[in-house]
Amino acid sequence: MWERPRVTAPAVQAGGPGRVIIQQSVFSRHHRKVKILFALADVFLVTLAFLAAYEGRYWLPFERTFFLSAPVKALLLIACAIAWPLIGFWFGVYERPDSAQPRVILRDAFKQSALGVTSIILLQYSLRLDLSRGFLALLGVSSWLLLCLFRSHAGAVIGWTRRKFGATQNILIVGLGERGQKLARSLERSGAHGINLAGFLDPDGTGAEPRECQGRPVYGLDRLPTLLERQVIDEVIFAVDSDRLARLEEVFLLCDEVGVRTRLVLDFFPHVNSDVYLDRFESTPLLTFAAAPHDEITLFAKRVIDVILAGAALVLLAPLMAGVALVIRLTSPGPAIFQQVRCGLNGRRFTFYKFRSMVENAEEMKESLQHLNRKEVAFKIPDDPRLTRVGRYLRRYSIDEWPQLWNVLRGDMSLVGPRPAVPEEVEQYKRWQRRRMRMRPGLTCLWALEGRDGLDFETWMKKDMEYIDNWSLGLDWKIIMRTIPRVLSGKGAH
């Protein structure tokens, strides 16, 4: 019943809290072309690096000279041509190829080459190929050098593609107020992107008032039909107050009739940081403000990864978990699994599982120990006296969290996300802190990497907001990879 329309976002934001996204919307189609161009360039460069490394075996002192049959050579070339661009897309290497700093170029190229060579090594072991380590090292170095050389000149390449493959976009702005002039300045700075500000339309003026604004002609709104007939106008952007929109309906219809694209500046709520996009409920269009990740495809991919990894972990850890449960039962009275109600996605409540690390009546003792609590809202006590002897080790190495893999498998939690809170804590949240529940809670999170229980509650909340605002599958993977050594070291847990 819900349908995402084929048309891209109808809004252009000229101003807002510290961000200008005019280029993202106006140049979205061109940006896709550039991303594809750079991915294809990477295919060519890694192919060149592969051939250079293979031929280099004649000139460099490798341990031994080896040869690849034509089918194996073709297979490895195809694997390289797939792996390098996929790694580039995964880590967002192609997002801003023309504005990357030298340090970023060196880092991204190294990451892409190192992971690319790692994928070839994994392929080698899976197919039982016999590749020289010197060849693999030379492939990584050659790839890194070629990628750095190409991307350091990316600006010139993108400029050439814009001149060859993109026509200049002539834009009219309806509105002479602050938002219209701010938008005009943004467009003028984007001349290199193929944007030409053709002028302004005064919604209160007539054709008898020739004048200029910021060096551009100002026309009366009644001149629009003539301008559309006599000039090349690709887009008309409305930068007016919300109370004027109803009176401009005929102008929208005129542009729609002649096929001119229209956009609307959506800064009526200047302090809203949400992403804005268009949904459709049956035949009704809905303008949506999303303050949390909303991409159904990537969220579905996150869920698939959760199910696969949690299911595999449960199978692998099952014997160990049985042993832990037995030790808990033998060393202290009470059940091996502790159950508690926690708040999940958007406040939904679920039963939360973990190995019991405290005495059986720990919840009843909580009120008498409240004076030892060092957190503002959450209840955390250093060297908690309720911990059992075994429980201290379970807590230190996060073994007590293993049963939450079942919560992940059920969909109550994710592998990565803000830690689930008890309802009593949620009731004490400040308004801005409640946004952390707009993401499915997780086993590990961003603040767990910064100090775990050693951080104050306010920092917890800020780190959760940072995670939500910057979420991606790549960020999840980085958090998981950094969590493993952190947990094994046992640092920061109480």
* Structural tokens at position 40: 């294809």
E strand or H helix that includes residue 465: helix 457-469
Q: How far is CA 135 from CA 44, 132, 143, 149, 366, in A?
A: 19, 5, 12, 21, 62
Sign for the CA dihedral angle at 431, 467, 97, 169 comes to negative
Q: How far apart are CA 329 and CA 352, in angstroms?
A: 19
Round to whole Å and give the CA distance between 303 and 414: 7
Cα(353)–Cα(60) distance, rounded to whole angstroms?
A: 58
**CATH 2.40.37.10 given to domain 2-16+167-290:** no
Amino acid at 347: G
Q: Is 357 helix (H, G, I), strand (E, B) or coil?
A: coil
| Sequence-distant contacts of 48-57: CB under 8 A, at least 24 apart | 48/142, 48/146, 49/139, 49/142, 49/143, 49/146, 50/76, 50/77, 50/80, 50/139, 50/142, 52/138, 52/142, 53/135, 53/138, 53/139, 53/142, 54/135, 56/135, 56/138, 56/142, 57/132, 57/134, 57/135
Q: Which two tokens stand for residue 223?
A: 């001149």
Q: Tens-of-pLDDT digits for all 494 residues of the chain?
A: 344 333 333 333 333 333 333 334 445 555 666 778 788 889 999 999 999 988 876 676 666 666 788 888 899 999 999 999 999 888 878 776 555 578 888 888 999 999 999 999 988 888 888 787 888 888 999 999 999 988 887 766 665 655 555 567 889 999 888 888 888 888 887 665 567 888 999 888 765 556 888 888 898 888 889 888 888 888 899 988 877 888 888 888 888 888 888 888 876 665 566 677 777 777 777 777 777 888 788 888 899 999 999 999 999 999 999 999 999 999 989 899 999 999 998 889 999 999 998 888 777 777 677 767 666 666 677 777 888 889 888 988 889 999 999 999 999 999 999 999 899 888 888 888 888 888 999 999 888 777 666 677 888 888 898 999 889 888 898 899 888 888 877 665 55
Q: Which helix (H) or strand (E) holds 443?
A: strand 442-444
Q: Tokens 């750079």 appear where?
A: 38
How far apart are the C-alpha atoms of 491 and 494, rounded to whole Å? 9
Residues 68, 136: Cα–Cα separation, whole Å: 13
Helix or strand run (H / E) with residue 24? helix 22-26
Tokens of 313: 């972990």
Question: Are 296 and 398 within 8 A, CB to CB?
Answer: no
Sheet strand arrangement including 275-281? 2-3, 275-281, 284-290
Residues 294/42, Cβ–Cβ less than 8 Å: no
Contact 298, 18 (CB under 8 A): no
Give dist(CA 13, CA 270) in Å, integer: 10
Angle between helices 133-151 and 154-165 (to 10 degrees): 60
3-state secondary structure of 200: strand
- For 312-352, give the secondary structure using H, E and C: HHHHHHHHHHHHHHHHHHHHCCCCCEEEEEEECHHHCEEEE
Domain boundaries defined on the chain: 2-16+167-290, 26-160, 296-489
H/E element holding 22? helix 22-26
* CA–CA distance, 161 with 171 (Å, rounded to integer): 21
Side chain identity, residue 165: F
